[in-house]
Amino acid sequence: MRHGKHTFKIGRTGSHRRAMLANMLKSLIENERIETTVVKAKELRRRADRMITLAKKDTLASKRSAIAEMRILFNPLTTKEARRAKAGDTAAYTRDRGVIGKLFGELKDRFTQRQGGYTRIIPLRNRIGDNALTCYIEYLK
């Protein structure tokens, strides 16, 4: 029985779906607003709200859970990169490091008083080609 096992399959294999949602989640955290289809946005909303909840806990375990969920390559900096980063050169950081920093910094601080419902979905139009309903998904201000 699959009681309580709700998921949108989105017409993809499990590995493809996990990779796609991880990339969409990184883009959402980085840009705070992305355009996608409604079905993908509804599945992404569940994961995006969970990421904010993890960020609000702000423990090492929650950081590791967020890194695992978003499939982040969080390799340590080499000594040369660490020196450049200490001098103020942020080019040493990858996109993934910036995503984790933003999640556990700016977004965590923004939603400290809010108990849930961190994202919203705004319907747009039907996409030309396959007539799929598109929308914006964004974090609340």
DSSP of the chain, one letter per residue?
--TT-----TTS-HHHHHHHHHHHHHHHHHHSEEEEEHHHHHHHHHHHHHHHHHHHH--HHHHHHHHHHTT---PPPPHHHHHHHHTT-GGGS-HHHHHHHHIIIIIHHHTSS--S--EEEEEEEEPTTT-PEEEEEEE--
Please list, in sequence order, all residues whose beta carbon lies within 8 angstroms of the beta carbon of residue 80, skipping any fewer than 6 positions away: none
Report the pLDDT value the prediction gives residue 30, as an integer from 0 to 100. 94
pLDDT at residue 94, rounded to an integer:
74
pLDDT at 24: 97
Domain ranges of the chain: 14-139
* pLDDT attached to residue 8: 86
Confidence (pLDDT) at 80: 87
Is 14-139 in CATH node 1.20.1560.10? Answer: no
Burial class (CB in 10 A: 0-12, 13-18, 19+), 53: middle
pLDDT score, position 130: 95
pLDDT at 73: 79
Residues of the chain with pLDDT under 70: 92
- As a whole number of angstroms, the distance between CA 112 and CA 118 comes to 11
Q: What is the predicted pLDDT for the residue at 6?
A: 85
Please give the model's pTM, rounded to 2 decimal places.
0.85
